[in-house]
Amino acid sequence: MPVLRDIFIQLSENKILNDTTKKIGLRFGADKVVGGIKVEDTIERIKDINNQGMSVTFDNLGEFITEKSDALWEKGNIIEMIKAIDENDLDAHASVKLSQIGLHIDYDFCLENTREILTVAKQADMFVNIDMENYAAYDDTIRLIDTVLEEFDNVGTVIQSYLFSSREDVIKYKNQRLRLVKGAYKEAPEVAFQDKRDIDAAYLRLIKTHLLEGKGFTSIATHDHNIIEETIDFIKENNIPNDQFEFQMLYGFRKDYQRNLVQRGYNTVVYVPFGYDWYAYFMRRLAERPQNLNLVIKGVTTDKRVQTGTAIAAGAAVLIGAYQLLKK
């Protein structure tokens, strides 16, 4: 449903809606896919996930950061979560978006914020994953990653399979810990694959390349069971030890499959977002795959009449809700 996907992506980029939703708490079923608003709430979610035999990567949600004061506040929130995880002796690591800590404000300012986060994480024996965002941020993100890799050994990044440059990046960072994803932004055909089949094929190539050609740990972040099962077959065929990779899935999605992977002996990590800026994240999850709409509906209600509604109906409900918020 490319039209619906584009609508949700456009909604995720709407600053007015993003600012409005910060004030109202989790809505539209977002509490089913966002770990919490505050650190203390999210810590309880992480404890529960750990008790189920899974690790966590947490993401402090935040978009449209244009003021240094806001970037410093977000940095503080990330550091607070790192310390809380350390104090509670939880199994979790950090995912950080550079745009949230000043990338679009000032590169050197963002670099210093990143160094501070990495230093605190290092003291807590925690790994930090630098997220890859839209293509407009690609060059500065790579530049910053190369800089901090010269200073820190507890940092890695994300490679998005829909970008044409991804295979080159996987080779470049073959000895680094990488999270491999398909990609959740709308990019131009000049820089990214547009067809799902091409993206999937590229994704599998990246997974296999990183598993075989380097020493870096591989985080395979997808809900696509076909790709996961093909990867498992590949791992078995090539005698790749289980301690060299993990599967990552988003909080709130495919819980049964997550537990199934744990039961089969595979390292499984839940990506837990938290914070006041939940709206843009939630919209991108709805844009990413039509199935996600149904998963959210099932999580919100047990009413079979609602569950059998189409993705378009769900999309319309969100649009109506957003419109009503703007009227307030």
Residues recognised as catalytic: 131, 179
CB count within 10 Å of CB 265 equals: 8
Cα 206 to chain centroid distance, Å, stands at 18
Give every CB contact of residue 193 below 8 A, 6+ residues apart in sequence. Answer: 161, 162, 164, 199, 202
Q: Do 312 and 4 form a contact (C-beta atoms < 8 A)?
A: yes
Give every CB contact of residue 123 below 8 A, 6+ residues apart in sequence. Answer: 86
- Measured distance CA(187)–CA(171) in Å, rounded: 22
How many angstroms separate the Cα of 295 from the Cα of each of 30, 33, 58, 253, 301?
11, 10, 21, 7, 10
The continuous run of DSSP H or E covering 181 comes out as: strand 178-181
Amino acid type, 273: P
β-sheet bridge partners, residue 272: 58
